[in-house]
Amino acid sequence: MKAIFGLGNPDKSYDKTRHNAGFMSLNNYIDEKEFKKKDNYLIAEKFINGEKVLFVKPLTYMNNSGEAVKNVINYYNIKINDILVIYDDMDFDVGKFKIKASGSSGGHNGIKSIIKYLGTEDFKRIRIGISKSSYDVVDYVLGKFSKEDMNKLKEVFNTINDVIDDFVSLPFEKLMSKYN
């Protein structure tokens, strides 16, 4: 079994904000209506190439994402090697993404929280570009995407759908080589 976590903030006022790129990516792959509330997260299940995959959106808000991630891993007995975290990243332009096998938080509070709760930086991730800004970081990441940026993101999300399908069956090194 594998688990894919999309990071974001659960309140409706955060819909389509830059910080919710992880939620948006999961919603592009699996219908939002399929997610059910459990504990401190929303969860949906799907079989991909015969393997059960959990799609999870933490309800703990970005800064405490690790709490929900840890709860899912413990409850379903999932190995850290079998998780994938999708989140926004200011280091890449909108329309770009990067797959990584591990690394620091890069200042991202959701990733900091996951590292804290899991006790490791060694978990797989997809960083979705939201571009840099001269605005206050908090205001910027909680701001909404422009129409032009949303069009670029739709293409990214469609490619990430393919990444998700391949995540189940390809060795991670091959997955990175194929999409990075």
Which is catalytic among the residues 2, 18, 19, 125? 19
**Residue 123 token pair:** 């978990």
Find where tokens 């699996």 sit.
30
Cα–Cα distance between 8 and 42 in angstroms, integer? 12
Name every residue whose Cβ is closer than 8 Å to that of residue 123 and which is 6 or more positions away in sequence.
80, 83, 84, 85, 102, 114
Ranges of beta strands (E only) in the chain are: 2-6, 36-38, 41-48, 51-58, 83-89, 97-100, 124-129
Residues in Cβ contact with 125 at an 8 Å cutoff, skipping those fewer than 6 apart: 84, 85, 86, 87, 99, 100, 103, 111
User: Residue 19 catalytic?
Assistant: yes
CA 32 to chain centre: 15
Q: Looking at the annotation, which residues are catalytic?
A: 19
